[in-house]
Structure 1
Amino acid sequence: MKKFLEAGVLGAPRGVKGELRFDCWCDSPDFLRSVNRFYFDAEGTKSLAVKRYHPSIPSIVFEGREDRQSAALLTGRKLWFDRDDVSLPEGVYFNDDLIGLRVYDAENGEDIGVLSAIEEGSRNFLYRIKGDKEYLVPAVDAFVKSVDPEKGIAVSLIEGLEV
């Protein structure tokens, strides 16, 4: 399991007090409210402490970067967060933890393939499954019967999901 997960990318400055727009890649910018430190790489070697975080806008002000010029130097930088800084409800998993899981038929247990990607659809997320065939399965209860990081993902396929 990765310790540091992608949070989003910093945008242009907003105002003169070091506030940066933030393109959050999480389900909701509010999810990152408890994060006090963001990292500039997946290894967590360089970081900045958060002075203020506004999930409603969303935007961030970092300690030591409270003026427009120093904040602007961070524009375009990708941010990561430490998974230990957030808590997930029971039965909810980070997408990074699901990618690569075995996907099997919920009825007979036969392998279908591996979850290769999670894509954003018009109404919900879609699981891209690669095996002998490739499928795009809506991530809803009607098709995804169970998710277990140890056992894999049980799905119920119907005609038309094959890519």
Structure 2
Amino acid sequence: MDITIGRVVNFHGIKGEVKIVSASDFTAERFAPGNIVKINNENYEITQYRTHKNFHLVKFEGVTNINEVEHLKGKDVLQDDESVELTLEEGEFHFDEIIGLNVETDDGRTLGKVINIIQTGANDVWVVKGDKEYMIPYIEDIITDIDLENELVTITPMEGLLE
């Protein structure tokens, strides 16, 4: 099954390097040279990968100039979810396991659902949408329980987090 791992947002230079915003975890593994991605129903083999200013810059096999990839701008980058072996440590989750979960406080107040995860470098931030939109940092003191079976995340909000 293909999953969305990013979106082509622009190009870098004129030699066909694409600029991707990630929608996935394990970006270094997913964009590693030799991996295959699908964009606009075409398969591309990654030959080079690097990061630059929060973007993932990728070069594909056989692509030598910008004209060969211009039609990919704005398109989703897909990958077979089993093509890259990813090992999770205890307490780690794939983004697609978290997005869509209900979120409530430890005193039972419903906040909404996780609709996105933003990678900041220091720690991920979960975007929770209900009556309001909340930015919840994924840190142990705040995210106190993740129950995948019951599709529920429990948080202990620090002062000012939900205001």
What TM-score results when the alignment is normalised by the length of structure 1? 0.68
Q: Where do 1:98-109 residues align within 5 Å?
A: 98-106=98-106
Which structure has the larger Rg? 1
In the alignment, the residues of structure 2 paired with residue 143 and residue 34 of structure 1 have an alpha-carbon distance, to the nearest angstrom, of 36
Say which structure is richer in strand. Answer: 2
Contact 1:6 1:80 in 2 (8 A): yes
- Report how many residues are paired: 154
CA–CA distance in 1 between the matches of 2:117 and 2:3? 21
Counterpart of 2:79 in structure 1 is 81
Matches within 5 A, 1:111-150: 112-118=110-116, 120=118, 124-131=123-130, 135-150=134-149
Paired position in structure 1 for 2:59: 61
Consecutive unaligned residues of structure 2, counting only runs of 5 or more, are none
Return the offset for 1:52: 0.4
Identity across matched positions, percent: 19
What code does the residue aligned with 2:102 have?
R
Judge conservation of contact 2:8–2:76 (CA < 8 Å) in 1.
yes
CA deviation vs aligned residue, 1:98-128 (integer Å, no higher than 9, x gap): 122122344x6x3523323335487543333
How many Å separate the matches in 2 of 1:119 and 1:66?
33
Q: CA deviation at 1:143?
A: 0.3
* Aligned partner letter, 2:59: V
Query: AA paired with 2:160?
Result: G
* C-alpha RMSD of the superposition: 3.4
Any unmatched runs of 5+ in structure 1? none
